[in-house]
Chains A and B, each alone.
Chain A
């Protein structure tokens, strides 16, 4: 007893140490049993979360992790091609007619998404979780989309950028799930490389691109329904070079 148990401790223990060092196997068995239980729990965790799919499979109460599906809060983005220049506050937008770069990344659930010259006109929306204008614009556009359906022949895609855990309403995925946002949304990386490649100067930000991947129009700020519809119109009509 060189580790000097105080009388109090032995009193707490009730009876004196009876097993002593001659019985190491009994504690070994407890360790083995614990390890086995934990292994079983691990297997259960694996099986249950696999068969469950995403959330709330069998149980009546909502279960699982409440943050967005996939929980990607800050993404990883690859940009190839020439970045668009920043949009100047006044005057003609020098990016009009320029081909947009290709931005590869993931949505919140880890699905690959690519933004770049596609075969159809595209409207790219750039939003930030902490920006009050975006917080109003997202539900507004979503209600428009729910009422009117996705615009025919125009691809809608978004980039959730400027993701910052130190700012309000983080993570963006949580917010967008809450708003039932239906537009596929790429999650930008720490350096906001995706937004930078589009020359973003403010939020929300919209880039209208034709079927050849050339910029038709760029705009920023909250949109009215009329302004939003005019962007869709620009996307549809701005593609008027079928022979190109």
Chain B
């Protein structure tokens, strides 16, 4: 019955090595602040791209700087969307696996909508296949809808609870609450929206060297 250290238990080993306590005690507030800022950056990107698109549509003449910037962003859009998917997945895994925050039911739906893209968009970015948007955007949109609802109930918890809330994994518990409004579902929503916008403007670009077809 005494404490036994199983070699398989990585967390135990990390604890002994003083790595886990360091991560646990100091990093979580820094990490939350960091990812909350990244979420806000996602919105900056969404708004900037939106404004750019409006200007492009309604400007009387072509603005060459805007055109070249648009073309550059279109070329990095796929890899950037992939990076966002990857960071979102790793961040969510950090909270659930390292910090032991229990994902609620709504969190799981958002994960289902986001995790696959950490792989899929990687492949699409490598293949320069912007056609992936036809498959990806509907899924991300579902994720965004769930995240919107979850963000809403975390910001304004309904007094009578929700059908998604369970005592063991309450969906209204604000594990993270940065700047007075950035919660974990808000981050998921930011990632979904930013990825959707990036996929919308992504363009297939020719590879200078090998193409998948030539391999």
Residues of A within 8 A of B (CB): 1-6, 9-10, 12-15, 17-21, 26-27, 30-31, 34, 37-38, 41-42, 44-46, 48-50, 52, 54, 59-67, 70-74, 76-79, 83, 106, 109-110, 165-171, 174, 189, 191, 193-194, 196-197
Contact = CB atoms under 8 A, between A and B. Distances in A.
A42 B34 contact: yes
B106 interface: no
B2 A64 contact: no
A168 B203 contact: no
B111 interface: no
A42 B1 CA distance: 43
B151 interface: no
Interface of B: 1-4, 12, 15-16, 20-21, 24-25, 28-34, 37-38, 41, 56, 62, 67-68, 70-76, 80, 99-102, 127-131, 167-168, 173-181, 200-201, 203-208, 211-214
A169 B102 CA distance: 11
- Secondary structure of the B contact surface, majority rule: helix
A26 B201 CA distance: 17
A146 B3 CA distance: 34
A153 B208 CA distance: 79
Contact of A170 (B29, B102, B127, B174): B102
B204 A5 contact: yes
B67 A15 contact: yes
Contacts of A193: 1-4
Given A17-B203, A41-B41, A110-B21, 8 more contacts: A5-B204, A14-B70, A41-B37, A64-B29, A76-B15, A165-B168, A191-B4, A193-B4
A41 to B, nearest CB: 4
A59 B30 contact: no
A30 B72 contact: yes
B167 A168 contact: yes
B180 to A, nearest CB: 3
A38 B38 contact: yes
A42 B24 CA distance: 17
A65 B181 CA distance: 11
Closest 9 CB pairs of A and B: A61-B180, A193-B3, A45-B34, A110-B25, A168-B167, A45-B33, A196-B1, A2-B211, A76-B15
Residue from the set A38, A52, A74, A167 with the largest chain B CB neighbour count within 10 Å: A38
A9 B71 contact: no
Residue from the set A63, A74, A83 with the largest chain B CB neighbour count within 10 Å: A63
